[in-house]
Amino acid sequence: MSVRQALGRGLQLGRALLLRWAARPGPAWGWRRPVSEGRRCGPRIPVAAGRWRPLLARACGVAGPGGRAVTLAFGLGLGLVQEKQAEGLRAATACQEIQAIFTQKSKRWPEPLDTRRWRGFRLEEYLIGQPVGKGCSAAVYEAALPALPRKLQVAEGPGLPPERVPPAAPAGGEREPAPAAAPFPLAIKMMWNISAGSSSEAIFRTMGRELVPASPVAVAGEYGAAAHRSRGGGPKRLAPHPNIIRVLRAFTSSVPLLPGALADYPDVLPPRLHPDGLGHGRTLFLVMKNYPCTLRQYLHENTPSPRLATVMTLQLLEGVDHLVRQGVSHRDLKSDNVLVESDADGCPWLVITDFGCCLADERVGLQLPFTSWYVDRGGNGCLMAPEVSTARPGPRTVIDYSKADVWAVGALAYEIFGLPNPFYGRGGAPLESRSYREAQLPTLPRSVPLDARRLVRSLLQREASKRPSARVAANVLHLSLWGGRPLVLERLKLDDMTGWLLQQSAATLLADRLAEKSCVETKMKMLFLANLEYEALTQAALLLSSWRAAPGPDVPLSH
């Protein structure tokens, strides 16, 4: 709308409103409800009889050029406000329509297991290979569903071939075509069961948080029945997200003697496998996709470029945003709990895993009552957000976890951008989340983009209210990466923002359609557009604008 159109519309509104106020009689001072005109009824309007009516009449232009100027200014303001509201409505509507399109496209989640032939709820169905990792509560092994003959019964014990080749079919058996060496696309996580008992219900109550990222099929077996029998119904279940691990199957089974068990974790084995073992005879097994390495291992072998490191940090923010939207807090984010695989171009794709310490309670959401020191505040004390580490128990104390994971992402960003994590103390005295000052945070290298440097410091602000949310923080990096310059000008123009979003949508749809497998950056753009929200996007644009206008690249600014 031009200034002339805005002025004309505003003059009509302003003059009609002022004349209406001036023409109505009313009490000396006070509030009155205007008399209805047909079916129209206005708001409650303060009126001062006698004293205010001449003033309003003069302002309407009936008492000289000065009054006309007041009316002109008032009308212009009303017109511009109305146009700004209409522009905002157009932008919000465009965001909703774009979000709907890309949300529908992102719902595709392929099932890696062929459920027509394999149910996958028995350990005996899997070919188990070598160990790939060990934590404080579980061991992880590579696994596969071997291409067995159609008429061959599955063996009673899990396969443990030394050469990691599936067994050959007997003579006369019908065998599916298979490669010479069996790949191991799956990973099996065997939990260590010391205190949960051996019944499915007891194991579910104790280890149920491990099933938060489980698919509906994964818990359709015995765990579905155990959850149904449980009074509380168990922890929440996460909807699928490309930056969150997906548990494909979950079941209990007798603990087997797997490769490396006697050397790596003899104390947690059951007594039948090790005389001094303290474990129960049955435990929980989780089947997931097998990823090549953890984030810690990846960063030990690779030094990502500043842009690539920004994309990696963005993926963590997208994963955390998904958790927050569904009322879940991971509470144990660290480089060992992030898995990595690379696309065809070598760009890393990050996946958050290990939900054993998460907060996923339907009753409390992200607001955990902290009534005593016995309440579990989560794992990894080094990367515990200040509002969590400094909390003191009391009858009315509540810990808000809505921005705790995003603080941990800020700390992990130092590792991703090539510096030691300041809260681990490698190369110097560690900072403590309970007592650090923001001025003590190390400065990221100048090669790191300015927006990323500012964002990391903003994520590590001590006061949670000053930190951007995971959604706003992710949008900041999206705009910085994908050239959202029209959105971060000194004065945000919403129509320009709508045009830029439409261009990005068309380009992303075309790139996804032309490529056989979308690259990481295309997938991230699709996530950005699937999570598009007008308010969060404008907040990110305004935050970027304030940073670029402020002096000093590393001064943390409040959100």
Residues labelled as active-site residues: 332
- How does DSSP assign 27-94, residue by residue? -SSSEEPPPPBTTB----EE--TTTHHHHHHIIIIIS-HHHHHHHHHHHHHHHHHHHHHHHHHHHHHH
Angle of CA points 90, 79, 76, to nearest 5°: 145
* Cα–Cα dist 525/382, whole Å: 32
| Count of residues making up the chain | 559
Q: Which residues contact 316 (CB under 8 A, 6 or more apart)?
A: 243, 333, 338, 350, 352, 409, 412
Could you write out the DSSP letters of every residue in 257-325?
--TTHHHH-GGGS-TTT-TT----SEEEEEEEEPPSEEHHHHHHH----HHHHHHHHHHHHHHHHHHHH
Q: How far apart are CA 384 and CA 386, in angstroms?
A: 7
Q: Please give the span between the terminal C-alpha atoms of the chain, in angstroms, as a whole number.
A: 31
Spatial separation of the C-alpha atoms in residues 309 and 287, rounded to whole Å: 29
Burial (CB < 10 A; 0-12, 13-18, 19+), residue 296, is middle
The one-letter code for the residue type at 115 is: T
**Angstrom distances, CA of residue 389 to CA of 331, 370, 386, 462:** 12, 12, 5, 11
Residue 97 CA to residue 501 CA, distance in Å, equals 11
Q: Cα separation of 455 and 546, whole Å? A: 12
Token pair belonging to 544: 């970027």
Residues 334 and 412 sit within 8 Å (Cβ to Cβ) = yes
- Residues 364, 365, 370, CA angle at the centre, nearest 5°? 50
231-263 burial code (b ≥16 CB/10 A, e <16): eeebbbbbeebbbbbbbbbbbbbebbebeebee
Q: Which residues contact 482 (CB under 8 A, 6 or more apart)?
A: 504, 525, 528
Can you say whether residue 515 is alpha, beta or left, with left for phi > 0 and alpha for psi between -120 and 50 degrees?
beta
Dist. CA 521–CA 482, nearest whole Å: 9
